[in-house]
Amino acid sequence: MGIAAETSLTASILVYFVIASAFILWKRLHGQKSSEIGQPARSSDEEENPHGESSDTQDRDAGRARPFRLKRTLLVGILLVTVVTIAEATVRGLQLGGFMKDADDAYDHILNLSADFHDSKTTSYVWSAMYQARSTVGLIHDVAFSIGPSVIDLIAGFVVLYALFGDYMGLLILATIVIFLWLTTNAISPRADLYRKHADCFYDEYLQMLDSTQNWYTVSEFNQIPYEKEQFHTKGQAIQDISIAIWWYNEQGSAVRYSLMTLAFAAACCLAAVQIARHEQKVGAFVTLTSYWAQLTGPLSQLVGEINNASEKLVRAERLLVLLEKTPKVQDNETAEPLKFAGGEVEFDNVYFSYDGTRQASEGISFRAPAGSTTALVGETGGGKSTILKLLFRFYDPQQGRVLIDGQDVRKLQLRSFRKHIGWVPQDAVPFNKTVLDNVRYSDLDLDADRVEQACRDAALHDKIMTFTRKYQETVGERGIKMSGGERQRLAIARAILKAPDILLLDEATSAVDSITEAQIQVSLEKLGKLKTTFVIAHRLSTIMKADQILVIEKGKLVERGNHNELIKINGVYRKLWDSQLKLQQAGFAAF
């Protein structure tokens, strides 16, 4: 609509001045012919010339004036078209620049939000909200090149008719405009509700499409492709139904508004007819009324369209505004300082944390991991082991207690300053849809291929990469779909090797690999973790027997602490886990 408005505005000005120029040229030619025909009647011209100037002199002056008026009109037209074109280009540039800035700001804000948001977000909701809100950047442009000119035309039409037909006509027109705009604004709220329902239906359809395509293997495994097709069709039908409802509501509003305009036009014609009958106006005034009435109805229709358009755009921006109102719970405070690294000693001091404010994920956790030591975390699934690593990396802040690195509270440190010292190998590593090379060297995209290759060798991944069609230039697919779980884990280990952190966090880093590969990776991890503060979460207790200390976590509490030999002697939770794994291994060997 914005492009059409600005184009029509320029075209209108251009056409107007072409017509004006043609009219002046026609008058000039007509004047010349009249002068030639009237030359014999010079005596009458002389009678009309009180100063005694000859008609030839007057004709020459008029002839010189007409080309001047023609040139002046053309120059003014060219000047106005140029000004409008420059204004259009300026506003269009501001619009595109505003769009880019708004998109950048929204993207920056979403990435700066904390883990509590990203752990609970729906990706389709976030990006559909950003997509639907893009149209709002054209509001200023629409005001400048659609609403503004319409208001000017409306005022001009009112002034002409008021000046020609008097107070009653002016009162009639004002009443019509007020009622017309009242009907329009009164319909904004119900229409906005319909637009919200349309946005909800669009989101549901987008979520259905994204969810089913991302989980295509699961859909195929359970033979649910027909079901997913039917679900998508249902979502699409909902969009169609609400679109028809919006169209019908708009048509009803248009019928009421244009009925009002028809009645007002009939009243204006009656008023003009009365004035003509009373000889207060000439018959030609009626033609003027019909001509200028269109200058009232056109701008009013344009205003209604722009108001409806603006309300729809603002509704589409509501979801994004909800996102922008969210604030990160974990961020640098004003007095945050860089980490003063002094070896990498880690301490948890009476730490309490809950994800939902109800169930405690960490309850009174206190321990100290000396610099360069290895600390293993064991316990039942969901007991709170990964939460400890998240608190250390400061994905979350504890509700009570402190997490310290070299005696410094991480909440008082700049995030970037201490996170660069920490390397994380998650249990479920998710690579980008990029090449293997770019995924491995993500911590430093300027690293050369030789260092990347060596890191992959250390992570027992190089040989597998060389079987790919494009080797290190192979794209791994969305969420690494082209790689197995073990390959994704080894890719994450290679990343950590290249980052060369001072504190290493391993969350089930070898859970998805076979025993032979695990043995190779363990050797690399021992080299990587040498002289580094290392935290290891493992369910296979045989992999953490050499740890300097083992922390047994149960229901968010630290129930046992010591090395392997000490905990075996206690005959507590760790001993039960150890005996259980031994029995499973023996049963497996017996079955084999």
- Report the C-alpha gap between 151 and 155 in whole angstroms: 6
Please list, in sequence order, all residues whose beta carbon lies within 8 angstroms of the beta carbon of residue 108, skipping any fewer than 6 positions away: none
Q: Sheet containing 400-405: which strands, arranged edge to edge?
A: 360-369, 346-354, 400-405, 408-409
Tokens of 58: 């007057």
The two beta strands, 360-369 and 549-554, are unpaired
Residue among 483, 397, 482, 497 at smallest CA distance from 440: 497
How wide is the angle at C-alpha 41 spanned by C-alphas 35 and 44, nearest 5°? 105
Any alpha helices (H) in 215-283, and if so which ranges? 216-221, 225-277
DSSP string, 376-437: EEE-STTSSHHHHHHHHHTSS--SEEEEEETTEEGGGB-HHHHHTTEEEE-SS----SSBHH
> Do the Cβ atoms of 308 and 253 come closer than 8 Å?
no
Helix, strand, coil % in the chain, rounded to nearest 5: 65, 10, 20
For 426, list phi and psi in degrees, rounded to 5: -75, 165
User: Exposed/middle/buried for 44, CB within 10 Å: 0-12, 13-18, 19+?
Assistant: exposed
DSSP string, 487-547: HHHHHHHHHHHHH--SEEEEESTTTTS-HHHHHHHHHHHHHHHTTSEEEEE-SSGGGGTT-
> Do the Cβ atoms of 95 and 137 come closer than 8 Å?
yes
- Report the C-alpha gap between 303 and 151 in whole angstroms: 8
| Number of Cα atoms under 13 Å in the Cβ half of residue 539 | 12
Please name each of the domains of the chain with its CATH number.
Answer: 2-325 (1.20.1560.10), 340-421+505-592 (3.40.50.300), 430-500 (3.40.50.300)
> Do the Cβ atoms of 263 and 141 come closer than 8 Å?
no
Tokens of 471: 């080797």
Cβ atoms within 10 Å, residue 201:
19
> Do the Cβ atoms of 199 and 315 come closer than 8 Å?
yes
3-state secondary structure of 376: strand
> Do the Cβ atoms of 228 and 219 come closer than 8 Å?
yes
* Cα-trace Rg, the chain: 39
> Do the Cβ atoms of 339 and 413 come closer than 8 Å?
yes
- Report the C-alpha gap between 63 and 61 in whole angstroms: 5
For 437, list phi and psi in degrees, rounded to 5: -60, -50
- Report the C-alpha gap between 208 and 306 in whole angstroms: 32
- Report the C-alpha gap between 564 and 546 in whole angstroms: 7
Helix axes 55-112, 318-325, angle to 10 degrees: 50
- Report the C-alpha gap between 335 and 110 in whole angstroms: 23
Residue among 398, 368, 350 at smallest CA distance from 533: 368
Residue among 144, 185, 177 at smallest CA distance from 161: 177
> Do the Cβ atoms of 394 and 415 come closer than 8 Å?
yes
Strands (E), 298-426: 346-354, 360-369, 374-378, 400-405, 408-409, 422-425
Q: What is the pLDDT along the chain (592 residues), one digit of tens a residue?
A: 444 444 444 444 444 455 555 555 555 555 554 444 444 444 444 444 544 445 455 455 545 544 555 556 556 656 655 665 665 566 555 555 555 566 677 778 888 888 888 888 777 777 777 776 666 656 655 665 667 677 777 787 788 888 888 888 889 888 888 888 888 888 888 888 998 898 888 888 888 888 888 888 888 888 899 999 999 999 999 999 999 999 999 888 888 888 888 898 889 888 888 888 888 888 878 887 887 787 778 888 888 887 888 788 788 777 778 888 888 888 888 888 999 988 889 999 999 999 888 888 999 999 999 998 999 999 888 888 999 999 999 999 999 999 999 999 999 999 988 898 998 888 888 888 899 999 999 888 888 888 999 989 888 889 889 998 999 999 988 888 888 888 888 898 889 888 888 999 988 877 766 777 777 777 777 777 777 899 999 888 888 888 899 999 998 899 999 999 999 988 888 888 888 877 776 665 454 4
- Report the C-alpha gap between 261 and 176 in whole angstroms: 7
Element (H, E) at 297: helix 284-316
> Do the Cβ atoms of 272 and 191 come closer than 8 Å?
no
Looking at this protein, which amino acid is placed at residue 255? Answer: A
Residue 494 Cα distances to 204, 438, 457, angstroms: 39, 12, 8
Tokens of 227: 């079901």
Looking at this protein, which amino acid is placed at residue 64? Answer: R
Residue among 532, 531, 508, 502 at smallest CA distance from 521: 508
What pLDDT is stored for residue 98 in this prediction? 52
What pLDDT is stored for residue 530 in this prediction? 73
- Report the C-alpha gap between 460 and 486 in whole angstroms: 10
Element (H, E) at 558: strand 557-562
Distance of CA 219 to the CA centre of its chain: 29
What pLDDT is stored for residue 79 in this prediction? 66
Q: Sheet containing 557-562: which strands, arranged edge to edge?
A: 422-425, 503-507, 533-537, 374-378, 549-554, 557-562
